Structure 1
Amino acid sequence: MNMLREMLMENPIIAAIRDNKELEKVFKSKASIVFVLYGDILTIPKICQRLKENKKTVFIHVDLIEGLRGDSAGIKYVKEYVKPDGIISTKTSNIKYGNALGMYTIQRIFVIDSLSLKTGIKNILDIKPNAVEVMPGVASKIISFLNKEVRTDIIAGGLIKNKKDVMDSLAAGAIAISTTEQELWEL
């Protein structure tokens, strides 16, 4: 079993943080894996460093970092200067660059119709991220279908508001869920 899969299975609730206020709250939470959904090229190294000092596993959503280009140099910068445990991106090129640098990669896909599902499956099979974050995470049928099609660890994210949403996503085959709902960080 790979290390990322073990981490996700042991810590299925992932804190997704959007600002410095949530950063301060995540330090006190039970969540040990954190998805950073904000920052810029000047602040992201310090955000990552603080999370690591507090024994958190850190994934940076590189598409959301201001001033960071989604190219090989940008991903190399993240690896060498930000030093997260891995990256998240909707862009297959970023996942490809991250894979080439030996980083953990999570491909985020938005499933809004059958075409986006088909495209998502093709991209996952071509690029081979370590895991896939399916949005919205409350789409249990899609999670179950995708789980059978791609044989890649699935993380459910988006619109997960309560314990039932968490349980439904996990029961459908997600290995973990990411959420901004701070009460769920304590599950």
Structure 2
Amino acid sequence: MGKSLVKHYFYQALEENPIIAAIKNMDDLELCCSLEEIRVVFVLFGDICTIRTIVKRLKDAGKIAIVHVDLIVGLSSKEIVVDFIKMSTEADGIISTKVPLIRRGNELNFITVQRCFLLDSMAYENLRQQQHQVKPDYIEVLPGIMPQVISKMCKVSKAPIIAGGLISEKESVMSALSAGAMAVSSTNHEVWKL
């Protein structure tokens, strides 16, 4: 499947259900695979020995699998990690805080999600300028419980915004979506069931 078709399917999946299951262990993997309404999964755990199996389980369950390459144990922070994920798994995309990895993901036709921790105005300004050079498909803003910041990011970002981090209740989800986020990612099982 070409990147434009995968990107379309990803976008459509988020429009139909803006909740992304962010999984951090095998129990989370099994639970999200059992929830039919969850279509997109962010993989936040694994190592070089298990990532293929984790992604395969998600794909077998009909999920879109996006691997946070910065969190996979045993992989470097060099661009070759993206090549490894492409050649060794069936992943649909990657998440990273590292600009070179997002660029390499784009080159390899992955869906790319640039994860950004907006801790102060300097981080906001860096992201605002960086997005034009890096061109991620999506930007994940953390923490996702800052509706004013999310709204501000949505106005300056060319990429759709995903709110993540500290999203643990319906009010947080609704607040982020009302502020303009396209979707929210959460490790909270109750949020997955909303």
Indicate yes or no: 2:24 matched with 1:11: no
Offset at residue 32 of structure 1 (A): 1.2
TM-score, structure 2 as length reference: 0.93
Where in structure 2 are the equivalents of 1:35-184 lying within 5 Å?
35-184=42-191
Structure 1, unmatched stretches of 5+, are none
- Paired residues of 1:88 and 1:105 also in contact (CA < 8 A): yes
Among all aligned residue pairs of Structure 1 and Structure 2, give the percentage whose two residues are the same amino acid.
42
1:70-94 alpha-carbon deviations (Å, 9 max, x no partner): 2222111101111211000000111
1:109-152 alpha-carbon deviations (Å, 9 max, x no partner): 00010001011112212100000000000011111111111121
- Paired residues of 1:140 and 1:169 also in contact (CA < 8 A): yes
Distance 1:178 1:58 in 2: 13
Length, aligned pairs only: 187
Greater shift after overlay, 99-108 or 63-72?
Answer: 63-72
Greater shift after overlay, 64-73 or 39-48?
Answer: 64-73
| SS of 1:137 mapped into structure 2 | coil
- Paired residues of 2:65 and 2:93 also in contact (CA < 8 A): yes
| SS of 2:88 mapped into structure 1 | helix
- Paired residues of 2:46 and 2:71 also in contact (CA < 8 A): yes
| SS of 1:160 mapped into structure 2 | coil
Partner of 2:40: 33
Offset at residue 68 of structure 1 (A): 1.1
Distance 2:16 2:87 in 1: 27
1:148-185 alpha-carbon deviations (Å, 9 max, x no partner): 11121000000111001000000000000000110111
Paired letter, 1:65: I
- Paired residues of 1:70 and 1:93 also in contact (CA < 8 A): no
Structure 2, unmatched stretches of 5+, are none
- Paired residues of 2:59 and 2:90 also in contact (CA < 8 A): no
Distance 2:81 2:159 in 1: 25
- Paired residues of 1:5 and 1:153 also in contact (CA < 8 A): no
Q: Output the aligned Cα RMSD.
A: 1.2
Distance 1:165 1:95 in 2: 28
Distance 1:76 1:70 in 2: 12
Distance 2:88 2:55 in 1: 10
